[in-house]
Amino acid sequence: MIAGITATSLAFICLIISIVSYYLHYRNRTKESLLLGRYAFYCSTGLIFFQAALLMWGILTHQFHWQYVFSYSSRDLSTFYLISTFWGGQEGTFLLWLVLGAIYGIILIRKKFDEEPLIMSFMSLVLAFITMILIKKSPFTYVWDLNPARFEAGMVPIDGNGLNPLLQDPWMIIHPPVLFTGYSATMILFAFAMTALVTRKHDGWIRTVFPFAIFVVLALGTGIILGGYWAYTTLGWGGYWGWDPVENSSFIPWMSSIAFLHGAIIQRRHGGLKRTNIFLALLTFVLVLYGSFLTRSGILSDFSVHSFSESILTDYLTAFVVLFIALSLIAYIYGTKNIMTVRVSEKFFTRETFMLFGILALLLSSIFTFFGTSAPLITGIFADKPSDVSIEYYKMLNAPVAILIGLFIAISPILSWRRENQAKILKYHYHLLITIIIGILAFMFGLRDPLPLIIFILFVFVIAVNGEIVFRMIKRRNLDFGGYFSHVGIGFMLIGIITSSSYATNTRITLPLNSPQQVLTYEMNYRGFRTGADGKDEAVIQVTGDGKTPWEAAPKFYWSEFNQAFMRNPSVHNLWLKDLYISPIQVIPPEPDNTGDPVTLTKSNPVYFETYRLIFDGYEMRDHSHTANTIEVFAVVQVSEGGTLSTIRPGIKVSGQQKQLIPAYLPGTERALMIQDINIDEDKITILVDNIIDQEEDRREMLAVEVTEKPLINVLWLGTIVMISGISISLINRSRFKPF
Amino acid sequence: MKAKYIIGAVIIISFIVWAGISFNKTLTPYVTFEQAKASETTVQVKGKRIDTGKFDMQHNVFVFTMMDEAGEKIEVVYDGAKPGNFEQATEIVCVGQYADGKFHAKELLVKCPSKYMEESSNL
């Protein structure tokens, strides 16, 4: 698509012009160079928006001869999911990154900061590099340019490959753009910190960058949490967080951005931490780059469940990361030379001291999660075969971090800035008392293990201290309570994480068809499969719990043509104090039992079997258009016994290379009828009818499921909402955030 | 004021030590079945599946046979759901431990040669 590719190249040229003229303006302050820089940036923004609009148009109007549209979308997707294919692949996410970067650039220009020339020069530099990636790998390439063997030039493929069904989820429409909003916004931190280094003005930038720092924390945090909801409700592995490289690469910069935000608070107050804050701002941006390099380059393809494969971009991405790390380092070393340092505090029991400890804990968590995620890279240097760390590493590592952070966000709000105020500290003994009482109650309710109990008690105290401060501030109509409010949210989140993971009860069981089983405290009855409203197959399980009204759980288990795999979605039932989480594991078809009686039926000729009169009426086919590879064939058999006539349909289901017999049952009995042989030429089928004696349960179809009870998971969700609201309140209040 | 630096240093040093211990303890090297038998820790074995596996209803686990890169065949017991694309798998990575003649996998990574999966997930 020539227009798209041209727009990418022109945008690149405009960005280069913008970098150069903005820099010239910084040097010589001529009006022309400033205007040229601005207009070049406006032009590149226009071109970036044009590309985005073009790609969106291509997706919505099914331009399947474009490689990107062909690879990630298809005709059967609804408009919502079509829109989300925009970020279904690499090129789209880079374009999204550019669009957001351009928007931030425009906002920065409109703010008319004194340092606009250098800030915008660095913004353009980052955008130029991302544009270069898009030139190398364009979403507008034609399919026949990429794969001439398979596609004839000029022919539009009838349909595309479609979107991974795992991504066809409402959460997935918003999770990636929100996360990328955060990733992209870290370039603002980079541009500001670099400007501070070049101009050697190490203080002024903190005030202007502050709202953007809050914005980064907000966007990354929201994106991570939305991803957690998605993992919990869609991926069947039972959790919201799995320490997967992709997840880690968003967690790592989030931690460092929070560290930076708190460092900025101290610097605004005191003037200290000049070098630390510049370092943290640069680090956050570099970690985002590194994360996107690690997860896209194919280095982890042996280590992650997410499918990474070697990409032609590996070299580009490596160069991109190395270059920006080098640039940041050099600027940092030269720019912080002979810096005028300011001591943060002389005293120990002050708020800034404990905030510093908190920053340290956040940074350690970020850095060591980074080392774990990079284990295959690091060990690859020292050994011939790279190794990876298991999930246990992150759990071992972040448990002490949680304790430290809990300790510091509980203590530091109690303390005063600069001076040691003992009277104020002593006022909090009520909070301690309440916390201890709640801790004892929790112990009596079964929270017995030391580590979870410590974390629980600590975060109850966090909520008590920070909650009371929020309460007092609202009473005084002081709206600057967002930070404390988000601490309350963190408290609820940690409590929810502890109770729902450490105290989850879990069991794996096979449920025979139509035979209620006792599972944990519930009675579960597997009723067979049906096609759900979204066209995916789901198992139906009737659940009765604690004498309450029964409900129907419908975990999905379906064949995906796109993934060439069976997919599972759990069923999550929310019960106020806990979630009941049912993941399907496997369908175990009844084993063909050759002890039954074979009966051969010829079409339209009645055959008598015991007291039944059977007539074979012909075949019925069902194929599901959404799972084109699945075909079901049923034999229609009329059964009459004692004057009652009914029709039953034993069948065969073929999905992929798998064949599965679908039994039918003689009316009013549990005796299964299964197809043994089909002879199409002679219109004959042979069916096998179960013997009456042979009615053991294990002869039925079985559904293996994993059932988990997750106590107090609602507390975690509540915590996420409180935390996000807290950060949003800070953003609105502290910055009086007006983008234009 | 001194106390601040001492505590900070204690946090950093103990954290580095703790992280080092965790890293070494949880590092799972790539080995063959032969080496896995001798190993006491969690390891990863890469190989090919020999059969399509079956669900052991007695123990509620998934069992299949795998041949590692050295050609040794061993029964793998996986404490989890059969991967949805198991039949299509060209290569399987098992993370776990060897015990009593079987490899007990805690994690299974399945790789498929799907024409659709070229760089599809990068979120």
| Domain identity same for A572 and A522 | yes
Q: How far is B56 from chain A (nearest CA, A)?
A: 10
- The whole-angstrom separation of Cα A330 and Cα A55 is 38
Question: Looking at the domain assignment, is residue A343 inside a domain?
Answer: yes
Give the closest residue to A578 by CA, choosing from A447, A713, A706, A456: A713
Domain boundary among A381, A409, A437: A409
Say yes or no for a CB contact (<8 Å) between A400 and B85: no
Give the closest residue to A294 by CA, choosing from A193, A406, A386: A386
Question: Can you say how many angstroms the Cα of residue A656 is from the centroid of all Cα atoms in its chain?
Answer: 29
- The whole-angstrom separation of Cα A355 and Cα A358 is 5
Say yes or no for a CB contact (<8 Å) between A246 and B116: no
| Domain identity same for A300 and A261 | yes
| Domain identity same for A622 and A632 | yes
Question: Looking at the domain assignment, is residue A167 inside a domain?
Answer: no
Give the residue from B7, B22, B32, B43 with the most A CB atoms within 10 Å of its CB, the best one to mutate. B22
Q: Is A583 exposed, middle or buried (0-12, 13-18, 19+ CB in 10 A)?
A: buried
Cα–Cα separations (whole angstroms), residue A216 to A105, A370, A401, A727 = 15, 19, 22, 10
| Domain identity same for A494 and A509 | no
Q: Tokens at residue A602, please?
A: 């010829």
Amino acid at B21: I
Partners of A353 on chain B (C-beta within 8 Å) are: 4
Question: Looking at the domain assignment, is residue A208 inside a domain?
Answer: yes
Say yes or no for a CB contact (<8 Å) between A392 and B22: yes
Residues 62-101 of A with CB under 8 A from B: 71-72, 87-90, 93
Domain boundary among A379, A409, A439: A409
Question: Can you say how many angstroms the Cα of residue A86 is from the centroid of all Cα atoms in its chain?
Answer: 16
Question: Looking at the domain assignment, is residue A419 inside a domain?
Answer: no
Q: How far is A297 from chain B (nearest CA, A)?
A: 9
Question: Looking at the domain assignment, is residue A146 inside a domain?
Answer: no
Residues 220-249 of A with CB under 8 A from B: 236, 246
ipTM: 0.84
Residues 181-210 of A with CB under 8 A from B: none
For the CA atoms of B11, B13, B16, B20, what is the dihedral angle to 10 degrees? -130
Question: Looking at the domain assignment, is residue A646 inside a domain?
Answer: yes
Contact assessment for residue A471 and residue A413, using Cβ atoms and an 8 Å cutoff: no
The per-residue pLDDT for B15 is 92
pLDDT tens sequence across A45-89: 999 999 999 999 999 999 999 989 998 899 988 899 999 999 888
Report the chain A residue with the minimal C-alpha distance to residue B109. Answer: A305
The pLDDT confidence band at residue A309, using thresholds 50, 70 and 90, is low
Cα–Cα separations (whole angstroms), residue A82 to A56, A89, A92, A133, A415 = 9, 12, 13, 24, 52
Report the chain B residue with the minimal C-alpha distance to residue A354. Answer: B4
pLDDT tens sequence across A699-733: 678 888 889 999 999 999 999 999 999 999 999 88
Partners of A404 on chain B (C-beta within 8 Å) are: 11
The per-residue pLDDT for A671 is 76
| Domain identity same for A492 and A513 | no
Report the chain B residue with the minimal C-alpha distance to residue A400. Answer: B15
| Domain identity same for A254 and A298 | yes
Looking at the structure of chain A, the number of domains it has is: 4
Burial A387-412 (b: 16+ CB within 10 A, else e): bbbbbebbebbbbbbbbbbbbbbbbb
The per-residue pLDDT for A237 is 67
| Domain identity same for A537 and A676 | no
From first CA to last CA, the distance across chain B in angstroms is: 45
Partners of A386 on chain B (C-beta within 8 Å) are: 30
For the CA atoms of A451, A454, A458, A461, what is the dihedral angle to 10 degrees? 150
| Domain identity same for A539 and A660 | no
Phi, psi of A481 (to 5 degrees): -95, 5
Say yes or no for a CB contact (<8 Å) between A90 and B28: no
Reported residue count of chain A is 740
Instruction: Report DSSP state, residue B120.
Output: -
The pLDDT confidence band at residue A595, using thresholds 50, 70 and 90, is low
Residues 306-365 of A with CB under 8 A from B: 306-309, 311, 345-348, 353, 356-357, 360-361, 364
Contact assessment for residue A597 and residue A688, using Cβ atoms and an 8 Å cutoff: yes
| Domain identity same for A342 and A266 | yes
For CA atoms A369, A210, A720, A240, the dihedral sign is negative
Q: How far is B76 from chain A (nearest CA, A)?
A: 17
pLDDT tens sequence across A525-572: 998 888 888 778 899 999 987 767 888 999 988 887 777 778 888 899
Say yes or no for a CB contact (<8 Å) between B84 and A706: no
For CA atoms A407, A413, A414, A418, the dihedral sign is positive
Partners of B95 on chain A (C-beta within 8 Å) are: 390
Say yes or no for a CB contact (<8 Å) between A360 and B12: yes
| Domain identity same for A441 and A363 | no
Question: Looking at the domain assignment, is residue A128 inside a domain?
Answer: no
| Domain identity same for A583 and A536 | yes
Report the chain A residue with the minimal C-alpha distance to residue B120. Answer: A89
Which is more confident, A439 or B40?
Answer: A439
Question: Looking at the domain assignment, is residue A394 inside a domain?
Answer: yes
pLDDT tens sequence across A669-696: 777 788 888 887 888 888 888 765 544 5
Q: Is A546 exposed, middle or buried (0-12, 13-18, 19+ CB in 10 A)?
A: exposed
List the domain range (segments joined by +) for residue A493.
428-503+712-740
| Domain identity same for A224 and A357 | yes
Residue A739 has pLDDT above 50, yes or no: no
pLDDT tens sequence across A230-245: 889 887 666 888 888 8
Say yes or no for a CB contact (<8 Å) between B22 and A706: no
Give the closest residue to A635 by CA, choosing from A695, A679, A597, A587: A679
